[in-house]
Structure 1
Amino acid sequence: MSSVFAHIRFWEYNFASPHWLWLLLIIPVLLFFRYQSRKKSLGTHKFSRPVAELKAISFSPIRYVILAIYVLIGLGSAFLIMALALPSLPYSDDNQEEYGEGIDIILSMDISGSMMATDFLPNRLEAAKEVAKEFIDGRKGDRIGLVVYEGEAYTACPTTRNHSYLKTAIDNVEPGYLEPGTAIGTGLGTAVARLRSDSLKSKVIILLTDGESNKGEISPLEAAELAKNKNITVYTIGVGKEGYASMPVNTVFGTIVQNTRVSIDEKVLKQIADATNGAYFRAKDKSSLREIYKEIEKMETTKMVDETIKREPPYKPVSFLSYGLLFLVFGFAIEQFLYKNNA
């Protein structure tokens, strides 16, 4: 009950249909005619107590009671009219931005052998997996999927809101099960294909690699054109520090660790991002990779706010209806209690 009567300060309300408020001007006129009509129909007002007794105690309190009756009826009518005007509080907690169904995101992750380089701790791949899972935790309403690639690509997890399942799929990703190489175009093209025609309006691919494209039947720029035609935004991330990095290399004598020059095709990655209205980022350690994902998250959150679903304000006529009915009931009840019908 307290929530119903929480706000009586009607001047703090906005009204969606303010034209109803013109009816407030009629209330004094109607009350005047009601008083005159009541006076004519009843003649002399009769009360429940004897006339001699009423004279003894004076009539002045009765006049105040009659005035109170018409004030109550007037206020009750006014509150009902304001309820018709659809009141809403401008600071209402309910009046929040309402977003759409989220967005579709595909993480397209390079898992080639070079991703085992240790310039990121414990290595590039494990760092990329860890930060990707942190990113997923912040995207509660989004459908997110995972594509992984080396010399070929496959879908490790289709777009889903079951983020626990997706993170398990990320944990299970290991290099060495696909054809060796780095097929950036295939990784991007597979991600584009996973964003089906029934995907949500906003579609995003986050393409992560630490090298140059040297495999695949489709070039990175051809795949970028496919993404552009589907209105997919592609954010590209190059991972690897400047200069050389230690990475395991398979030889006839087994796996050895050697310093290898970090070679990322930043020109192509920038072209992919530019063609799809995305952005290119360079991550030189795990900390910078984490900041890149935070930046992407911020950019996509801003986009969602810009595309907010507009809705009607939360109307709150209940308090006005409650007060209106309460005042009218009290007013008419007191009137019936005091007045007697003429014989």
Structure 2
Amino acid sequence: MNDLSFGSPWLLLLLPGVVFLAAMPYLWKRRMSPVGMRYADTGLVSGTGSSVRLRVMPYVSGLRFVALALVIIAVARPQSADAREVIRGEGVDIAIALDISGSMGQQDFDPHRLDAAKEIIADFIVERKYDRIGLVVFSRDAFVQSPPTLDHDVLLRLLDEVDLADRLRIQDGTAIGSGMATAANMLKDSTVENKLVTLLTDGVNNAGDLDPVTVATAAEALDIKVYTIGVGRPPRSGADPQLGPFGGGVVMQRGSLDEETLQQIAEITNAKYYRATDTAALRGIYEEINALEKSEIEILHFTTYRELAVWFLVPALLLFLLELILSQTVFRKIP
């Protein structure tokens, strides 16, 4: 961003003095003119050229004062300031794996599990300004919603489009192994030091051909941490309300969560397992992960200044020369 500043701004205090010097001849002339003295109108007998010359002469005299003002501004060192920031270091590469199976429509979260997760994940993305983040969704199969990107605006739009499997007309199920493998695969070629997956689910691995523990072992070999998050209240008698297929009506379903496997995944990959039983707890989990996995970023701020005095000195010189030429030719005073 370019801003105008002055290296010696106190010199600008001389500008009112220039205005005073320019006005002095006129003030002195008015003071010395006899009050009430009337003269005959000589306009009818004066030459037209002489009349124009007399009217223009004060402006010619004013050129030197305009030039002087420009010189003062130039001496005050006008500068254009250009502020820049340089980012040193590297961020964290993150893959978010999100369960979109039908049970994520249970309404023990506000408004339901998936929408609560999307809102909190969106806040998490906003906080990770310098990190490449990708998004994987999974039900019976896993899908890449977004590859790792620094364009978080696009990522947030793609996150907003995520919905329950039934509403998207894809097969239901919970392929935890496939979801984790797809997320880890996005990070396998990453050259940054810190790589992590956040895997959020409310169920048990019941689809796909990949065993979650086996996938976790492969992720650990790639130096990828997998933070696992189990959502939902513990099973109880009765049931939690859940959105029906395509969002129609409400059905009742008891949830189940394979906490043991999720804990194993986290332990194998040197990460941590979390359990969220409500929206507030889920928000706290993502805030903790955000605090644990900080980007090693150093932001250096630089300001460069470009001197602009020449843009005032050149016009000042031209005005001085113009005033000198005119005063010695067209407007020369004959003794």
TM-score (norm 2): 0.59
* Root-mean-square deviation over aligned CA pairs: 2.8
Contact persistence 2:188–2:222 (CA under 8 A)? no
Unaligned runs of 5+ in 2: 1-5, 8-86, 301-335
Which of 289, 294, 297 is the equivalent residue of 2:290? 297
Deviation track 1:25-82 (CA, whole Å, cap 9, x = no partner) reads xxxxxxxxxxxxxxxxxxxxxxxxxxxxxxxxxxxxxxxxxxxxxxxxxxxxxxxxxx
The alignment status of 1:248 with 2:240, answered yes or no, reads no
Distance 1:102 1:198 in 2: 11
Equivalent residue of 2:291, what SS?
A: helix
Paired residue for 2:224, among 215, 232, 252? 232
Aligned residue for 2:260? 267
Distance across 2 between alignment mates of 1:255 and 1:167: 26
Match for residue 182 of structure 1?
Answer: 174
| Compared CA separation, residues 247 and 108, structure 1 to 2 (3 A) | same
**Contact residue 103 and residue 255 of structure 2 kept, 8 A:** no
In structure 1, the partner of 2:146 is: 157
| DSSP-derived class of the 1:191 partner | helix
Q: How does 1:100-115 map to 2 (within 5 A)?
A: 100-115=89-104
Distance 1:180 1:116 in 2: 12
Q: Look up the match of 1:92.
A: none
- Paired amino acid for 1:173: V
Residue 287 (structure 1) aligned to one of 260, 280, 294: 280
The alignment's TM-score, normalised by the length of structure 1, stands at 0.58
CA distance in structure 2 between the partners assigned to 1:137 and 1:256 by the alignment = 33
Contact kept in structure 2, 1:119 and 1:240, CA below 8 Å = yes
- 2:190 alignment partner AA: D
Give 2:185's aligned residue.
Answer: 193
| Cα distance in 2 between the residues matched to 1:208 and 1:199 | 25
Cα displacement (A) at 1:249: 4.4
Q: 1:275 to 1:99 in 2, by over 3 A?
A: farther
Given that 2:136 and 2:179 are in contact with CA atoms closer than 8 Å, whether structure 1 keeps it comes out as yes
> Percent of counterpart pairs with the same letter?
43
Q: Hey, what's the Cα distance between the residues in 2 that align with 1:184 and 1:264?
A: 11
Contact map agreement 1:104 1:199 (CA 8 A) in 2: no
Superposition deviation, residue 100 in structure 1: 2.0
- 1:99, distance to aligned residue in structure 2 (A): 5.9
Aligned length: 214
1:85-164 to 2 correspondence within 5 Å? 100-164=89-153
Letter in 2 for 1:123: H
Q: CA deviation at 1:241?
A: 1.4
CA distance in 2, matches of 1:166, 1:216: 26
Q: Over residues 256-306 of structure 1, what are the superposed CA-to-partner deviations in whole Å (9 max), with x where a residue is unaligned? A: 5333222110000000000000000001111110000000001102xx45x
In the alignment, does 2:200 pair up with 1:208?
Answer: yes
SS of alignment partner, residue 165 of structure 1? helix
Distance 2:248 2:152 in 1: 35
Deviation at 1:146, TM superposition (A): 0.1
Partner of 1:168: 157
1:199 Cα deviation from its structure 2 partner: 4.0
The offset of 1:108, in angstroms, is 0.2
Higher percent of residues as strand: 2
Structure 1 portions without partners, runs of 5+: 4-97, 312-343
> Structure 1 CA distance, aligned partners of 2:145 and 2:260?
28
Is the contact between residue 185 and residue 223 of structure 1 (CA under 8 Å) also seen in structure 2? yes
